[in-house]
Amino acid sequence: MPMPALTVENLCSEAAIFSIAESQHPEPTLYGVTDGKKIGTYIEQKFRLYLKEKYEFWEGSSASRIDFPGLLVDVKVTSITQPQSSCPFKSARQKIFGLGYSLIIFVYDKADDSTNRAATLRILHTIYVAAERTADFQMTRGIRNILENEGNKDDLIAFILDRNLPVDEIEAANIADEILLNPPIQGFLTISNALQWRLQYGRVIDRAGQEEGIIAVYRPTAS
């Protein structure tokens, strides 16, 4: 009997179940590990294997650069001590119009048990951020304020250049034209300029469940 196709809805529901189980699982291979990339790879691979036992889906590759290209969803894993991660840079437009795909973010707190020599990754937040909410918060807020205050193309170009978006004046003008035709939706990530985007998640952690498109998939109840 064929397995059901993975959807965004059951991706989120399974992420909640996975978060509960993972929070209770002692993992010897992560004992003493401080490398966030290694911990992130561990959770991403384990979550993918968990889903493969129940659903059919198109797996991501180095070419697709996101974990679930069929759903346009990428998995991010980050420590609560500094909730951020890197992201491939495609275009300066991503900071204004969003990354082009949604995110499932697992935020963990790692604890080492020296007696059993095992680590536990307690998942504190699992958050789904819809693609249309993945632009930079301050960038989109500034642009929307300009438009609400009868700003024109020149105002938008000046703002884009003042914010050090990695574009020249010609590209800034092209983006300004695009903004006037298609005003951006308010984003909630903080995106720092770099060779790769640096995504920071403090705001989506705070706003999860309070804003449309930012879903608190899992959050443990206080004990």
Q: Which domain holds residue 162?
A: 137-181
For residue 204, give the CATH number of its domain.
Answer: 3.40.210
User: Has residue 179 got a pLDDT over 80?
Assistant: yes
Residue 89 lies in a domain: no
Question: How many domains are there within the chain?
Answer: 2
pLDDT value at residue 223: 43
Nearest-CA neighbor of 14 among 112, 89, 137, 126? 126
Q: Tell whether 112 and 162 lie within a shared domain.
A: no
Is residue 1 included in any domain, yes or no? no
* Same domain (yes/no): 53, 107: yes
- State the chain's mean pLDDT as an integer: 94
Within a domain: 106: yes
What integer pLDDT is reported at residue 63 of this predicted model?
A: 61
Shared-domain flag, residues 39 and 146:
no
Q: What average pLDDT does the segment 9-29 reach?
A: 96
62 and 167 together in one domain: no
Give the residue with greater pLDDT, 65 vs 20.
20
Q: 103 with 129: CB under 8 angstroms? A: yes
13 and 34 within one domain: yes
Question: pLDDT grade, residue 139 (50/70/90)?
Answer: very high
Q: pLDDT (tens digit, 9 = 90+) per residue, 43-100?
A: 999 999 999 999 999 987 666 689 999 999 999 999 999 999 999 888 999 999 999 9
> Do 104 and 127 form a contact (C-beta atoms < 8 A)?
yes
Is pTM beyond 0.85 here?
yes
pLDDT at 196: 82
pLDDT at 192 over 70: yes
- Note whether 68 and 123 are same-domain residues: yes
Task: Determine what percent of the chain is predicted with pLDDT higher than 90.
Answer: 88
SS3 of residue 94 by DSSP: helix
Has residue 94 been placed in a domain? no
Q: Is residue 76 included in any domain, yes or no?
A: yes
186 inside domain: no
- Residues 35 and 73: their CA atoms lie apart, in Å, by 24
What pLDDT is recorded for position 213?
96
Regarding whether 116 and 58 lie in a shared domain, the answer is yes
In 114-202 the beta strands, taken as DSSP E runs, fall at 118-129, 190-192, 197-200
**Domain presence at residue 163:** yes
Distance, CA of 166 to CA of 194 (rounded, Å): 9
Q: How many CB atoms lie within 10 A of CB 14?
A: 18
pLDDT tens, position by position, 140-174: 999 999 999 999 999 999 999 999 888 999 999 99
pLDDT at 193: 82
